[in-house]
Amino acid sequence: MTRPSPFSVRGRHALLIIKDERDSSIVRRQFGRLGMSVSEADPEQLTAPETPVDVIVLDADSIPIKSVPALTCDIPVIALIGTETPSRLKWLLDLQPASFLIKPLRSAGLYTALVVAFDCAQRRSEEAAHIERLETRIRSRRLVVAAVLQLMRGHGLSEEDAFALLRQTAMRHRTTIEQLSVEMITLGGMPNRSSRTA
């Protein structure tokens, strides 16, 4: 799957959560020019979107600070900021917006905010997937150590030789060291697979 370009906004859908009609009108008009569809929600009744949305444009000043953002999801948020008090900015940081715009709004800057938001969301997604893969590998390392110890005890090998045997066997069976280790621990020894050797 190829990474979608953050510069391509035509055909994407935006959810506007903006109280001020002037700001809402500017955003609707500019997004229409960019080929985006728009739906709106009431800032007083903040809920997660029910239909697929590519970006949320949120007027951060119109939502009570004490409310728990219901929008903590994988959808990038562009925050509209007018009040720069520490408490408001802290609430906004907890929301983790992908981009922001300072009020009063102008049509200039909306495309840039979209590109930054889409790119930020894509990077966050890729980083989360990378971290998940690393955590999976870290969890499986315990099994690799257990498999190496099993080979050391069972065959009287040194740690280096046991790991080399594990690696060679994994290559021969066209599997990962981690997967082979899981099979070894489960079976109590090397799996008896038929494999082609060059």
Per-domain boundaries in the chain: 13-128, 129-187
- In this chain, the answer to whether the domains covering 13-128 and 129-187 adopt an identical fold is no
* Most confident of the ranges 15-19, 28-32, 50-54, 182-186: 28-32
Q: What is the CATH number of domain 129-187?
A: 1.10.10.10
More confidently predicted of 128 and 66: 128
Whether the per-residue pLDDT at 193 is higher than 70: the answer is: no
Q: How far apart are CA 63 and CA 16, in angstroms?
A: 13
To the question of domain 13-128 being in CATH 3.40.50.2300, the answer is yes
Q: How far apart are CA 14 and CA 54, in angstroms?
A: 6
Q: How far apart are CA 9 and CA 183, in angstroms?
A: 47
- pLDDT grade, residue 2 (50/70/90)? low
Count the residues in the chain: 198
Whether the per-residue pLDDT at 38 is higher than 90: the answer is: yes
Inter-CA distances, 111 with 6, 91, 92, 141, 167, Å: 10, 25, 21, 45, 50
Q: For 90, what's the count of Cα atoms within 13 Å in the CB-facing half-sphere?
A: 6
**pTM for the full predicted model:** 0.68
* Residue closest to 21 by CA, chosen among 62, 73, 79, 67: 62
pLDDT recorded at residue 196: 40
